[in-house]
A and B are shown apart, each in its own frame.
Chain A
Amino acid sequence: MTNLFILQLLNGAQLGVLLFLIAAGLTLVFGIMDVINLAHGVLYMIGAYLIATFAGLTGSFWLGLLLMFPAALAVGLVIERLVIRPLYARSHLDQVLATFGLVMIVNEGVKIIWGPSPLSVPMPDLLSGSIALIGPLQYPVYRLAIIAAGLAVAAGLYVVINHTRIGMLLRAGATNRDMVSVLGVNIRRLYSLVFALGAVLACFAGAIVAPILSVDTGMGESVLILTFVVVVIGGIGSIRGAFLGALLVAIVDTLGKTFGPILLRFVMEPAAAGQTGRMLAPMLIYILMAAILFARPQGLFGPKPS
């Protein structure tokens, strides 16, 4: 039981860092640019397709990952220029519609370019296999590497946001956008930067998860909603909130799916417990979200509503 708990905790942490990579960009785009971007999930998908292509072309996961970055940056900049920029001054409703249209275009475009069948990305040799953790407990190296990569990015973001000039602008932008632009900062360039950064992070998440998932057109959708929950729980514009929110959501989701039915067995029959557990587990994170919002409508680290 303890072993299962540790395994699921690690699985939760792995999902958590992935969610964090996606949510970090999304929360900055919301907080600084005040744009609701439904297309953030498809960026994650594009990252996975990009590495599938580049890894296939070069025959190496690492070269593919290296090539993915400039391509992701280009995708982010192009989307920002063509679709997002005209939406800055628009209502949230317009933003929802236009980015919803973008989701349809990209999903269908990916189907046209890469075909409807799922792709797979070979796992790099260096990180394949499992290692022993405690006693008989084995865990895949690659999943540990994902957790490490996510934590490294989180640490990097922490340094950039708290100790660099760009980070200062990002923090200032999330607090008071108009004041930043009044103080003579080129807000348009800051916006492009924020969006491109978010796009690269989401693509990176898609790329590193590609070897353990099948790469298909639906992969952005489920993640998008989870990321929304993360951003709402963490508070819009807060990277710290995104980090804690992502881990919280992922661990509650993972543990709930495994231990929900087991715990319910104490109060009802095994068959009924399994059934109820399976029905309740996917709802847990939404109940968590509702509870947090009930206490703090602005999320854990969001700015106080004025």
Chain B
Amino acid sequence: MIGTATPAPARLSARLWLALLIFACFAALPVIAAVTDDPFLLLIGTRILAYAIAAMALDLILGYGAMVSFGHAAYLGFGAYAVAILNSVGVTDLVLHIAFAVTISAVFAAITGAISLRTRGVYFIMITLAFGQMAYFFFVSLSAFGGDDGTPLPARSTLFGSQALEDDRTLFYVALGLLIALFTLATRIVGSRFGRVLIGTRENPVRMEAIGLAPFRYQLTAFVISGCMTSIAGVILANQAEFVSPAFMNWHRSGELIVMVVLGGVGNLTGAIGGAVVALLLEDWLAVLTEHWRLLFGVFLIVMVLYSPHGITGALDRIARGRR
């Protein structure tokens, strides 16, 4: 369905260089923020890092497993609410927040994934969307945490008992560290035997069954891994905004995650990260330009889909190959 061939090893390493370049730019951001004396730069940067993690996690199943999940924003919400819920009972440590977020997400992903994976194509898209909305409505009616309006967090998560994350720069570097760690993990997953089976399932599930591998188990495992990774992005987002609300899990958010993945280029983890950067910067830039930025963003989306189906990394590949 998603017709990108497995990238050749040589190009994969080019993508790795691109990823390293993006990470280096991120690492330099606090310096730029200090020089230009712009405190918002770090907060924007942290937000971009969180979405980069989420987009990369989505690419893991969308790009490598051809599972178009339209409910991934739910996991952002689980991550964010994990912080709020544990804070309300006095548990403030970031590691515990992440562990809790990952646990809820694993359970939710395992149950909904097992049901959704019984179907394919359009059905899968619509069912994941419906489950995402189910989670959304659950938190909307959760009046203990502000319901529809959400609730502010009393403080950011603590890191091994210290308040270090209250400093925007520390939070930024923690987010960057998580992105790099998860990128490494995702690259390893994709390169492993598990990853090969997943890619094989994307290309031809019938053949995978014929050689004796049941696609369902591999797809479900990937789905759960992806959901857990996305929830870590949610933990970061909650800390960045110091606020949680069901708006994190609105279906528009799921759509935006897909936009990031496709914008960057499907099926190579670097693309999703780049796509998150470009999409969020474009949103911010258009929002400065006009209050009706969504109109322009919508036009941009349609034009992109109709004229550049392989995203940014696809365009880079074309340039690298000397065509166009």
B305, A232: Cβ atoms closer than 8 Å: no
Does A102 have its Cβ within 8 Å of any Cβ on chain B?
yes
Does A93 have its Cβ within 8 Å of any Cβ on chain B?
yes
Cβ < 8 Å to A, chain B residues 277-302: 292, 294-295, 297-302
The distance in angstroms between the C-alpha atoms of A305 and B122, with both chains bound, is 13
A105, B140: Cβ atoms closer than 8 Å: no
Of the listed residues A93, A94, A232, A297, the one surrounded by the most CB atoms of chain B closer than 10 A to its CB is A93
Cβ < 8 Å to A, chain B residues 1-17: 1-3
The distance in angstroms between the C-alpha atoms of A297 and B68, with both chains bound, is 17
Smallest CB–CB gap between B118 and chain A, Å?
Answer: 4
Smallest CB–CB gap between B124 and chain A, Å?
Answer: 9
Of the listed residues B115, B123, B137, B294, the one surrounded by the most CB atoms of chain A closer than 10 A to its CB is B123
B305, A98: Cβ atoms closer than 8 Å: yes
Interface size grouping (class) on chain B: 35 or more
Of the listed residues A104, A289, A305, the one surrounded by the most CB atoms of chain B closer than 10 A to its CB is A104
Known: A104-B294, A108-B292, A229-B130. A294 touches B115 (CB 8 A): yes
The distance in angstroms between the C-alpha atoms of A203 and B191, with both chains bound, is 49
Q: Please, what's the 1-or-0 string for B113-143, where 1 marks a CB less than 8 Å from any CB in chain A?
A: 0010011111101110111011001101111
Kindly identify which residue among B62, B68, B122 contacts A236, using a CB–CB cutoff of 8 Å. Answer: B122
B122, A92: Cβ atoms closer than 8 Å: yes
Does A58 have its Cβ within 8 Å of any Cβ on chain B?
no
Known: A91-B1, A96-B258. A105 touches B131 (CB 8 A): no
Cβ < 8 Å to A, chain B residues 253-270: 255, 258-259, 262, 266
The distance in angstroms between the C-alpha atoms of A289 and B127, with both chains bound, is 9
Given A97-B259, A98-B301, A279-B141, 5 additional A-B pairs, CB 8 A: A108-B292, A225-B251, A231-B126, A283-B138, A286-B134
Interface residues of B, Cβ cutoff 8 Å to A: 1-3, 62, 68, 70, 112, 115, 118-123, 125-127, 129-131, 133-134, 137-138, 140-143, 251, 255, 258-259, 262, 266, 292, 294-295, 297-302, 304-306, 309
